[in-house]
Amino acid sequence: MEYYIYIIVFELIVGMFTAIKAKEKNRNPFIWFFLGFIFSVIALLVIFVLPYNESTQD
């Protein structure tokens, strides 16, 4: 049973790092947090590869 708790904590940490990197790249951190939580390291790698978003939102 403890194994599931470790997985959830790991996914939360990966989601947090993904959201932080998304905010640095001017992308929506909430969406990227959930992508990082669901897809784990794959989403983290994708956000590192994506270029900075130069568009501004009004």
| pLDDT < 70 regions, the chain | 56-58
What pLDDT does 20 receive? 95
What pLDDT does 9 receive? 94
- In this prediction the pTM is 0.84
What pLDDT does 58 receive? 46
What pLDDT does 56 receive? 62
**8 Å CB contact between 35 and 42:** no
Q: Residue 48: which H helix or E strand, with range?
A: helix 41-49
Q: Which two tokens stand for residue 30?
A: 């909430």
